[in-house]
Amino acid sequence: MTNASTGEMTPATSGVLLVLAHPALERSRANRTLAKTAKGLSGVTFKDLYETYPDFVIDIEAEQAALTAHNVVALQFPLYWYSTPALMKEWLDLVWLHGFAYGEGGEALKGKKLFVACTTGASAKAYHAHGYNRFSMDEFLRPLEQTAHLCGMEWETPFVVHGAAVKDDAALKAEAERYRARVASLLPTKTEA
């Protein structure tokens, strides 16, 4: 894990921990474009879960240390079966433990922000009571929203790119700029840092 601004291997003590989960990033258009744009921001520590843990053997201590060291946790992923890709779920299951993230003595994430950035194949119209996915994105993201609540985190309005597969390069680039601005807005100002 490297800090984009300093190139140092030690974790930052503030800023955004941007955690990406995409099982085939080489074939991704949307998430690759978004991540490439946001990870260069000063104050963002970028972690690609599938690159770091291709065998799903997660270094729990290192992950907990990274979470502790940042003010904002950003989760970026393509929506797979209305949920996160498997490794991000595994990461949540193994790292966000009782006594660390929640429960007695579990206050490591308290007061931090949780920000979700998600891409979907289906259009925005589909994510509606009368659309073919029948529920809104807010509803599909409820498990993460409640996870934030349980851990005493502040839930940030999610960033969603719908119809990602059919967006042309210019449209994706525009989304990436919107994403970059949103991630930048989550970084502490100089006086807070």
Instruction: List contacts with ligand FMN (CB under 6 A).
Output: 22, 28-31, 78-82, 119-122, 164-165
- Nearer Cβ to ligand FMN (44/164): 164
Indicate the residue among 28 and 68 with the shorter CB distance to ligand FMN.
28
Minimum distance from residue 9 beta carbon to ligand FMN (Å): 27
Question: Which residue, 81 or 189, is less far from ligand FMN as judged by CB?
Answer: 81
Nearer to ligand FMN, 121 or 152 (CB): 121
Closest distance to ligand FMN from the beta carbon of 181 (Å): 19
CB of 5 to ligand FMN, least distance (A): 25
Nearer of residues 92 and 122 to ligand FMN, judged by Cβ: 122
The full 3-state SS of 52-75, as one line of letters, equals HCCCCCCCHHHHHHHHHCCCEEEE
Nearest residue to ligand FMN, scored by beta-carbon proximity: 121
Of the candidates 109, 19, 21, which has an alpha carbon nearest to the alpha carbon of residue 64?
Answer: 109
Nearest-approach distance from CB 158 to ligand FMN, in angstroms: 14
Q: Which is nearer to ligand FMN, 36 or 149 (CB)?
A: 36
Least distance from C-beta 46 to ligand FMN, angstroms? 15
- Min dist CB 88 to ligand FMN, Å, is 13
Burial of 109 (0-12, 13-18, 19+ CB in 10 A): buried
